[in-house]
Structure 1
Amino acid sequence: MSEDLNVDARVDLNADLGESFGRWQLGDDAAMLELITSANVAAGFHAGDPRTLRTTCAQAVQHGVIIGAQVGYRDLAGFGRRFIDVDPADLTADILYQVGALDALATSVGGRVRYLKPHGALYNAIVDHRGQAQAVVDALLALPHPLPLLGLPGSLVLELAADHGIRTVTEYFIDRNYTDDGRLVDRRRPDALITDPELAAERAVAAARERRAESFCTHGDSPGAVRMARTVRDALTAAGVAVEPFITP
């Protein structure tokens, strides 16, 4: 993995954070924030209580990590990983509510929400669900300044967002397997997750070489998440890939 790409390669490294709730702790946000360049911070609907989210935002500001709002279905019990056939108008309002709440918490500690990433079942649904994809775009358009949108390459939501002049950022999951048509393998399947840090690092370098996406995701709640993020970042750096946020700090 030490082979130099011999090109001006650069990628953003992001992770889903702020997903603890009260006494229930998930992941090590502080350690992850030393390794990543963008943080997809939960916005309260699928995970995260206000104090957790404010603390995570403060830690992100301390480390110079870009804060993004990870919005999802109103589904704490299911961690936002269950599809909900919500009315598009309700979904638009729910997204605006989440962005507004997280931005207030981020602002209180010297940060701002700089981009949007849908979470879990919503992320997968808007690959081809037109009503919900449009609802996400409508929420972005309703903001004073539309946030960049992070999503799966080839997804409908990115197409609709681009049609409205919204900046779109493609994402590659280094710790998830893909189907033949480029979608994420269902988490209920035993082959959905990649837990070997070395394998994830090899995938990351290959994806950087092939320019598969602008931002790479490693999940903060996965077993051994910190070790994986460190291994991946070290491998990218050794291969000559600059790990930088896709938004100017």
Structure 2
Amino acid sequence: MTFVFPAPETPAIPVAGTRALFPVRRVYCVGRNYAAHAREMGHDPDREPPFFFMKPADALQPVPADAIAEHAYPQMTQNYHFEVELVCALSRGGRDVTIEEALDLVFGYAVGLDMTRRDLQDEAKGLRRPWALAKGADFSGPIGPIHPVSQVGHLAKGEIRLEVDGVARQTGDLADMIWSVAEQIAYLSRYNELFAGDVIFTGTPDGVGPVSRGETMRAAIAGLGAITLQVV
């Protein structure tokens, strides 16, 4: 096969404790999956089924666990928000996966951030337009190394936390998810066939808010460690 120009590299995430890389196919994100965050955004969590949006795979920014990474403040926004999330990485796929089968698809988990141009999102909501420009900025998916299930198991509870310059801004527990990881996988597989390399950002607790240039974010999940980024 001959391409008209060199094919871009496959986006990939380091696997913790190894030299291996996890190749990324698609990036799915679930919206408003913690009750307090749903209320924070003006919605009733008891009446809403899960919904998903997507980020480009090359919007992911792999972040080493033992370093402070620089994170570029994107263009065309004056209100750039952090959202700390558990990320689920799949090594198998399928259609119409049952809840009982869903976790068999999971390779591992990582700490992630769904960075959002909130002013663009609010504008899109008001005009009933897609969120693509709000959610898909370059490097808008910082993500730490993937920890294989064989090492950390399946994470159903434990603290999820984000700090800005050492001050806690988001704190919650994975047990507070409205839809579990298994339920998210099963639900999503009814709409799209899932494949190895797909990753799912599983929602954020309440407390989302803006970050500015010069500030440092630290995102942590119990059992997965933390990632640290300075906004530049």
TM-score scaled by structure 2? Answer: 0.25
Structure with greater proportional strand content: 2
| Higher RCO, 1 vs 2 (CA within 8 Å, ≥6 residues apart) | 2
Structure with greater proportional helix content: 1
